[in-house]
Structure 1
Amino acid sequence: METNRSPRMTLPTQAVLRALLAEPTKPMYGSEMCAAANLPSGTIYPILARLEREYGWLESEWEDPDISVTDGRPRRRYYRLSNDGAQAARLALAESYQARQSRRRTFGGKPGSAGATS
Structure 2
Amino acid sequence: MVKPSGLRMTMPTQAVLRGLLEHPTREMYGLQVCEAAGLPSGTVHPILARLEGLGWLESRWEEVNPAEAGRPRRRYYRLSPDGAEQARHALANARSPLAGLAGWTDNPALGGAR
TM-score by length of 1: 0.77
Q: Aligned residue for 2:71?
A: 73
**1:50 partner letter:** R
Q: Aligned residue for 1:13?
A: 13
In angstroms, what is the RMSD of aligned CA positions? 2.3
Structure 2: gaps of 5 or more residues: 106-114
1:103 paired residue among 76, 85, 99: 99
* 2:28 aligned with 1:34: no
Report if the CA contact (8 A) 2:29-2:76 is conserved: yes
How many residues of Structure 1 are paired with residues of Structure 2 in the alignment? 102
Structure 1 runs of 4+ aligned residues shifted over 6 Å read none
Q: Aligned residue for 2:108?
A: none
**In structure 1, how many angstroms separate the alpha carbons of the residues matched to 2:32 and 2:41?**
10
Among the aligned pairs, what percent are the same residue? 58
Q: 1:35 to 1:103 in 2, by over 3 A?
A: closer
**2:79 partner letter:** L
1:108 deviates by: 1.1
- 1:20-69 Cα offsets, whole Å, 9 max, x none, are 0000111111111111111000000000000101x110000000023x44
Higher relative contact order (CA 8 A, sep 6+): 1
| 3-state secondary structure, aligned to 2:77 | strand
Report if the CA contact (8 A) 1:6-1:92 is conserved: no
TM-score by length of 2: 0.80
